[in-house]
A and B are shown apart, each in its own frame.
Chain A
Amino acid sequence: MESRTSVVVVGGGATGTGVARDLAMRGVDVTLVEQGNLTHGTTGRMHGLLHSGGRYAVSDPASATECIEENRILRDIASHCVEMTGGQFVQLDRDPDDYFEDKLDGLEDCGIPAEVLSGEDARAEEPYLTRDVKRAIRVPDGAVDPFRLCVANAASAQEHGARIETHAEVTDVIVESGAVVGVEVRHESGAGKHTHNTASSTETIHADHVVNATGAWAGQLGDMADLDIAVRPSKGVMVIMNVRQVDTVINRCRPKGDADIIVPHETTAILGTTDVEVDDPEDYPEEGWEVDLMIDELSELVPILADARTIRSFWGVRPLYEPPGTGTTDPTDITRDYFLLDHSHRDERPGMTTIVGGKFTTYRMMAEEISDHVCGKLGVTATCHTADVPLPGSDDFSVLRDYMDEFGLRSPIGRRSVQRLGSRADDVLKGAGPNPVLCECEGVTRAEVRDAIDQSGTDLNAVRIRTRASMGNCQGGFCCHRLANELHPQHDEATTRSALDELFQERWKGERHALWGEQLSQAALNYQLHATTMNRDRDPAEREQSIDFAQFDAGDTT
């Protein structure tokens, strides 16, 4: 299969989908390819913090200023993805005073609104903070759902004519006469929506320009075009708690360190993080000590965390980059700034541009810069509108409606559906037929799941990131099979079963870092439900030879 487009964007994270949207809105013909789901890489593995810039106000004022600008924009264009929780930088009695003062000065210099709270006031806002709080600074940190944001960017790009291909791995970058002219892609299950048990296919995509937005994978894509892009991937752990022990983002106010942030995210709180350089962004150790460190260190800030329930942990890989020759040894010292690598100047290899480094919060600004750059190459004069035009789901959406009567749903579930769907709620929820809840932990209904399947095919992890189904306390024990059933009969039973097994295994993978106490009890219950009651672990349908049914009890016929 062959196709032709103006720009191929490689990478379906925040940056890649942001670039695709930006270019498509300028009228450029775009194809985005992503090796896994949208958010497969670093975007789907972050703590969900919408930076105020406060974290960088001392160490990296330029980044801090960008953060607060983008923070304001995202609140506007992505309102259904953002929860403005507010944040605190908390100083404990033993933390240095001078750093606290430096932080205040930095916040002022960067134009980040800040307010000093007494220890008492800080605890009045966040009652579970330790009594050792000396004082705190209030900043406009928030929580952002990276999945929803990415999906909305991709949807907007599609509305403007872009082609989005997930489960489409780039196997080669085509170089002709020294210039990049396209990519070879392997579609795991053919082009279009992902469907299990469908044969793979390959496609040659010819393009005027290729954007490498693969983050921590940028070096691997660079290798295919004989380009040396020395990304320094650095892993960090995030530990998810079963409830929100805090309702504002809590940062420890001291110089850089591990385990210094708690982000309230949907029904959970996320503890983070570590910063350890790794060789391979796909294959690195996920270690128990990192989980323990989060709990032990952050319970100094919020003591009830010591005995609270952890539901899973996950790791992300930062796509850190520094120009050749900088030579920073400690990954925590590598700049968080982003770099646009124009390979035509840098390597005399026209046709490709790479973007590395940077932060989720500033994805839109990065996308704008690279889109400007690419448009310059293409001779496109249209300008960027992504800061002004709301994302799908965030347009014309001011009041959360009470959907209890309209959709026959209990009020909290209707409210949560509407929060997730934003201005798409009417379209999605007003489908035909009854709309029971499939995921009780997160209050996700059948209509939302079917809407996600319509978007993404049989990949239930793609359904998960769109809806939050299976992301709650039971980690899918009670809903994975319900989600899979929604694939049938549109997809056959074997496909349904493969999709179920894949989601169940994915849920297990993250949950295993939380297996003690309540969550081990939950995992044992899930295991019993799926193995004892359903016999999914020794399912006779998976056997090559069929059972001799006549040998088993056929009832008492005497």
Chain B
Amino acid sequence: MMHDDIVVVGGGLAGTTAAIAAAREGASVRILTHKESTLRSASGLIDVLGYLPDTESATRGPLQNPYGHLDALPDDHPYSIVGEAKIRDAFELFDTLTGDQYLGGHTDANALLPTFGGSMKPTARYPASTAPGLLSRPVDTLLVGFDRLVDFDAPAAADHLEHADVPFDVRGVTVEFPGGFRADAKLTRYVNALDRNEDVDPPNQAAEAIPAREALATAVEPHLENEGRVGFPAMLGDDHAAAVRSDLETLLGVDVFEVPMGPPSIPGLRLQDTLDSALRDNGVRVESGNPVVGYETDARGVLDAVLVDRNGNHRPYHADQFILATGGLVGKGLETNRETAREPVFDCHVDNPPARYEWFSMEAFGDHEFARFGVHPDDHLRPVDETLEPEFDNLRAAGAVLGGYDFAAEKSGSGVSLATGYAAGTAAARDL
């Protein structure tokens, strides 16, 4: 019989953090995860809180210090439930796990980083590869985009940043990525060429193929005027990302940074690799590829096992404590139909307005109820039923499956996943 101290359902940022936090308390932990990590779709930036949730917050601008505004959050916000100390502990764990891959831990202040849409966003931790691009550094900037990579238009992004009055001059250029890849080549094709430093045809029609990093620098160098830094879309290598960037810095003679991108997010995938290593180092077992479809209770009604569907067979995974970290509407931790929203694994209670036309605002960026859908936890992060009693004494929830906050508006998603994952993991381990 399969038995662990703790089973975590879901392998995203919340589930991974919960598992590692629990393992570090000495528990034996297993993660059951179904689909590819949502970190693939996330920028790779780790936010605490960029804005308060009200719609007027846009006019007040990004929060300079997120910790100074936690008191202003509603009582049922996950941050209000776990408290500031747990948030700080969770970020300390994150800093330990990621080492020099992430920066920002030296201050409580938010950092401002350019986004691939040309806007900027406040964040608490940022990949080292993005750090030279911090917008509070008054260093003139050249942004470089590639004509076949359609998500990042460097000249438009540069003009957009100018409109936000950044404290430096910024220009953008579009160049051809050396090597003549097909118009529909995947992003990973470019990443790999730089990562492996493959020989490619140089941009200046010279006879000899040259290594990709050198070829890229050759393509960019003529456009560089007096700028002190050059920003590229986040695609500068994978396993050897640090070497790619430092080679480009040496070749160009200026700082080089990455601009975080949408899916597929290379910084997100690099973070996933780091967290996967941390899971192994902490002895967490990970089973992926099959969905958790239900659960079993013992005679007293205590949660005893979750059921994993393998080609139609339901296999029980027993544990003493369980953590639900299946994500929100995107990660399919929450499902909806025309009438209602539900949490499909344990059928935990989910509050939603009865009429689906009340689930959203008429404005694309309005105040959307659906963004706050989720299970509602008690003070110990246990999802509660309609009578506010825990659904199960030994089930906790973490991350986007929790309701009560709109992380897209607040820029708080990864921070809530870390904080609630950490809190749920440690509490579950201490309850053993």
- Whether the pair A528, B330 counts as a contact (CB closer than 8 A) is yes
CA distance A147 to B330 in the complex (A): 33
Interface size class on chain B is 35 or more
Per a CB cutoff under 8 Å, which of B109, B115, B263 touches A552?
B109
Q: Does A434 contact B (CB under 8 A)?
A: yes
Q: Does A538 contact B (CB under 8 A)?
A: yes
CA distance A532 to B410 in the complex (A): 8
Q: Which residues of B contact A508 (CB under 8 A)?
A: 363-364
Closest chain B residue to A295 by CB distance?
A: B338
Closest chain A residue to B411 by CB distance?
A: A532
Q: Which residues of B contact A324 (CB under 8 A)?
A: none
- Whether the pair B148, A436 counts as a contact (CB closer than 8 A) is yes
Per a CB cutoff under 8 Å, which of B110, B117, B136 touches A550?
B136
Per a CB cutoff under 8 Å, which of A434, A497, A543 touches B160?
A497
- Whether the pair A547, B184 counts as a contact (CB closer than 8 A) is no
Q: Which residues of A contact B329 (CB under 8 A)?
A: 520-521, 524
Given contacts A521-B330, A552-B111, A554-B134, contact A534 B184 (CB under 8 A): no
Per a CB cutoff under 8 Å, which of B159, B167, B365 touches A536?
B365
In the assembled complex, the CB of B185 is this many whole angstroms from the nearest CB of chain A, namely 9
Most-contacted residue by chain B among A536, A552, A556, A558 (CB, 10 A): A552
In the assembled complex, the CB of A1 is this many whole angstroms from the nearest CB of chain B, namely 32
Per a CB cutoff under 8 Å, which of B58, B153, B356 touches A538?
B58
- Whether the pair B408, A527 counts as a contact (CB closer than 8 A) is yes
- A521-558 CB mask vs B (1 if < 8 Å, else 0) is 10111011111111111111111111111111111101
- Whether the pair A554, B163 counts as a contact (CB closer than 8 A) is no
Most-contacted residue by chain B among A410, A529, A538 (CB, 10 A): A538
Which residues in window 322-368 of B have CB below 8 A to A? 328-330, 332, 335-338, 355-357, 359-360, 362-365, 368
Given contacts A512-B362, A549-B166, contact A493 B159 (CB under 8 A): yes
Per a CB cutoff under 8 Å, which of A410, A482, A534 touches B115?
A534
Which residues in window 469-528 of A have CB below 8 A to B? 478, 481-482, 484-485, 488-489, 492-494, 496-497, 504-505, 507-509, 512, 515-517, 520-521, 523-525, 527-528
Interface size on A, residues (CB 8 A): 73
In the assembled complex, the CB of A536 is this many whole angstroms from the nearest CB of chain B, namely 6
CA distance A548 to B63 in the complex (A): 11
Closest chain B residue to A481 by CB distance?
A: B117
- Whether the pair A542, B42 counts as a contact (CB closer than 8 A) is no
Given contacts A516-B338, A536-B365, A549-B136, contact A529 B262 (CB under 8 A): yes
In the assembled complex, the CB of B48 is this many whole angstroms from the nearest CB of chain A, namely 12
Q: Does B289 contact A (CB under 8 A)?
A: no
Q: Which residues of B contact A446 (CB under 8 A)?
A: 150
Q: Which residues of A contact B116 (CB under 8 A)?
A: 533-534
In the assembled complex, the CB of B394 is this many whole angstroms from the nearest CB of chain A, namely 29
- Whether the pair A533, B163 counts as a contact (CB closer than 8 A) is no
Q: Which 9 A-B pairs have the closest CB atoms?
A: A534-B117, A546-B165, A493-B159, A485-B153, A553-B111, A531-B408, A537-B365, A508-B364, A554-B136
Contacts beyond the supplied A436-B184, A521-B330, A554-B136: 16 A-B pairs with Cβ under 8 Å: A408-B182, A437-B183, A493-B162, A504-B364, A517-B335, A521-B329, A527-B408, A528-B330, A532-B408, A533-B116, A534-B262, A535-B50, A540-B120, A541-B163, A546-B165, A553-B112
Chain B residues at the A interface, C-beta cutoff of 8 Å: 41-43, 50-51, 57-59, 61-62, 64, 103-104, 106-107, 109-112, 115-122, 131-132, 134-138, 147-151, 153, 155-156, 159-167, 176, 182-184, 260-263, 328-330, 332, 335-338, 355-357, 359-360, 362-365, 368, 370-371, 407-409, 411, 413
